A and B are shown apart, each in its own frame.
Chain A
Amino acid sequence: DAKTTQPTSMDCAEGRAANLPCNHSTISGNEYVYWYRQIHSQGPQYIIHGLKNNETNEMASLIITEDRKSSTLILPHATLRDTAVYYCIVRVFETSGSRLTFGEGTQLTVNP
């Protein structure tokens, strides 16, 4: 899988938008960008994924740049329960499997 680079940590005020950046400059044409998060001691939770177009669901929005070398996950109105480690993962189909390779992620802390 293509390597991703994320800030180690970020802070956000409750009720404000949280914008989490991710660089994936070596991404290739058939690789999707996935975002997961892990709230302390829980299993990773799927948030959103996309290929080239911007995506939105009930949890978040994903903005992918036109050259696909970076993306931003947007939580429009962050709450205290959004405090978690957020993982940006670029994933390619492999004949031997379709696993996710987790990096270090970004620790997002939402403050009251």
Chain B
Amino acid sequence: NAGVMQNPRHLVRRRGQEARLRCSPMKGHSHVYWYRQLPEEGLKFMVYLQKENIIDESGMPKERFSAEFPKEGPSILRIQQVVRGDSAAYFCASSRYIRTTNEKLFFGSGTQLSVL
């Protein structure tokens, strides 16, 4: 059973370009969470999605950032017109369902975004 898969592992973009980060949850998991970790800082929640629905995007910056989790395919975190401050590690996690506090989140290895 493969774990949470994120790609690319490293992504380099110039200022103003778009960044697309992909996350394939574990098999059987239909809930995806995105976290961001700025250099020398802790993990900050960004967004929580179920298939075709955004459930909680309270941690997402209001502009340039969007996320989706289509019926088919991976979840995508999209950053438009990247700036140097977007340079960070972006982690995706997945879980089976939420109707319990006894549910574990499993994390991927992350995508390191570097903006030149």
Contact = CB atoms under 8 A, between A and B. Distances in A.
A41 B89 CA distance: 8
Contacts of A44: 43, 91, 93, 107
A91 B33 CA distance: 15
Q: SS class of chain A's interface: helix, strand, loop or mixed?
A: loop
Q: SS class of chain B's interface: helix, strand, loop or mixed?
A: strand
10 contacts: A32-B102, A45-B107, A46-B106, A93-B98, A96-B56, A97-B56, A98-B100, A98-B101, A101-B45, A105-B42
**Chain B interface residue number, banded:** 20 to 34
Contacts, number: 68
User: Which 3 A-B pairs give the minimum distances between C-beta atoms?
Assistant: A43-B107, A98-B98, A102-B43
A99 B56 contact: yes
A51 to B, nearest CB: 8
**Chain A interface residue number, banded:** 20 to 34
Interface string A65-104: 0000000000000000000000000011110111111111
Given A43-B108, A44-B43, A93 B55 contact: no
Interface of A: 30-32, 34, 38, 41-46, 49, 51, 91-94, 96-105
A96 B107 contact: no
A96 B44 CA distance: 17
Given A43-B109, A105-B42, A32 B56 contact: no
Interface of B: 4, 31, 33, 35, 42-45, 48, 55-56, 89, 91, 93, 95, 98-110, 112
